[in-house]
Amino acid sequence: MAVLVWCAVFFPLLNTGNTAMALLALAGMGLIIAPTHCVQGAIIAATFPVRVRYSGTSLILQAGAVLGGGLAPVISSALLDSVGSSAGVTWYLVGVCALSLGGVVALFRIAPEAPAERAPSSPELVSEA
């Protein structure tokens, strides 16, 4: 939720042209983003059973990198060119954050509430799976 709120003020702070406001915008984003990355591995890993946990986590992280990291600059540049200000980019960020918040809520509902599964400890169990 904090990322969603900060995204709404990030570009307006940068657009002031004031160095102190720009530093505040960057520092605020840096402080807010770090905790979100700290917990995402545990949340995503808890979504998958042990047998496919590594593959499932990798699939989510790689797809997120392509869709979020690869397309975001292209979409942001197109919005900046078409709107003529950073307002379009700000609303794009807010929308992506809202979509991400919905994804987190869904992941918490999917993640098992039972005690964590144990990984197979012997090679025989692994080969049978």
Name the residue with higher pLDDT: 1 or 57: 57
How far, rounded to the nearest angstrom, does the alpha carbon of residue 17 sit from its chain's CA centroid?
Answer: 28
For residue 113, the model assigns a pLDDT of 60
Q: Select from 106, 99, 84 the least CA-distant residue to 7.
A: 99
Q: Which residue has the tokens 């939720």?
A: 1
pLDDT digits (tens, 9 = 90+) for 16-43: 989 999 999 999 999 988 888 888 888 7
**How high does pLDDT run on average in the chain?**
82
For residue 106, the model assigns a pLDDT of 83
pLDDT digits (tens, 9 = 90+) for 54-87: 898 899 889 888 888 888 899 999 999 998 888 8
CA distance 111 to 47: 4
For residue 78, the model assigns a pLDDT of 94
Amino acid letter at 9? Answer: V
